């Protein structure tokens, strides 16, 4: 749920990048961070571990204009991909406004994608969210690899609810901003609907 600060006249929206370990979540945020103009972003906070590039979160507010006199900012987070960090995933999903599910397109990672999507559904349900109703966008990452799952198969196996989806090569920036723009649009529609 977007947080409204009456004093500062800000609406803060939280978008979480979710998916299997080393699938491209952190790469997305790093690319956005480096391509965003200096005045509208904060610092990028990262906590690395031996087994996972991001244990807790990456943080980047983006200023996207005003809604009824309130300045709107997005805060972008990643979750750790490995199952061992499930408590961190749950914590990061608290008060989420939108989710980007970053799937690794490689054939060898399909089971990891399915496991991560199952985890997302469960973690959202535990916090009172319905995956059918929350703003959600799928990103099929690593489309430049040689042994990848066809897009229609990714859609069939992972996106049965027909959420928006984009192909990407996050390390090159392909599809990164398109995915972010779509989730931002969906979150803003929800926020506008919640403000009277």
Of 109 and 48, the one with more pLDDT: 109
Residue 135 near residue 98, CB atoms below 8 Å? yes
What is the percentage of the chain residues whose pLDDT exceeds 70?
A: 82
* CATH number of this structure's domain 3-194: 3.40.50.300
pLDDT (0 to 100) of residue 6:
83
Q: Give me the pLDDT at residue 55, please.
A: 38
Measure Cα distances from 74 to 28, 46, 96, 97 in Å. 15, 17, 11, 9
- Calculate the CA dihedral of residues 126, 131, 133, 135 and round it to 10 degrees: 110
Domain locations along the chain: 3-194
Average pLDDT over residues 58-78: 77
**Segment 155-179, tens digit of pLDDT:** 999 999 999 999 999 999 999 999 9
Q: How confident is the model at residue 138 (pLDDT cuts 50, 70, 90)?
A: very high
Percent of the chain with pLDDT over 90: 58
């Amino acid at each position: 749920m977007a947080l409204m600060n009456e004093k500062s006249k800000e609406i803060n929206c939280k978008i979480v990048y979710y998916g299997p370990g080393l699938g491209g979540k952190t790469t997305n945020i790093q690319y956005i961070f480096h391509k965003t103009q200096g005045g509208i972003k904060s610092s990028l906070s990262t906590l690395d571990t031996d087994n996972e590039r991001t244990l807790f979160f990456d943080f980047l507010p983006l200023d996207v204009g005003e809604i009824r006199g309130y300045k709107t900012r997005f805060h972008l987070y990643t979750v750790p991909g490995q199952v061992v960090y499930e408590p961190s995933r749950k914590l990061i999903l608290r008060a989420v406004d939108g989710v980007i599910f970053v799937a690794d397109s490689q054939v060898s990672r399909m089971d990891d994608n399915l496991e991560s999507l199952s985890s997302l559904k469960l973690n959202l349900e535990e916090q009172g969210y319905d995956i059918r109703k929350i703003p959600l966008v799928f990103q099929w990452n690593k489309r430049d690899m040689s042994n990848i799952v066809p897009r229609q198969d990714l859609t069939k196996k992972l996106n049965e609810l027909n959420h928006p989806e984009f192909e990407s090569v996050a390390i090159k920036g392909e599809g990164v901003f398109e995915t972010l723009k779509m989730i931002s649009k969906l979150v803003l529609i929800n926020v506008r609907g919640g403000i009277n």
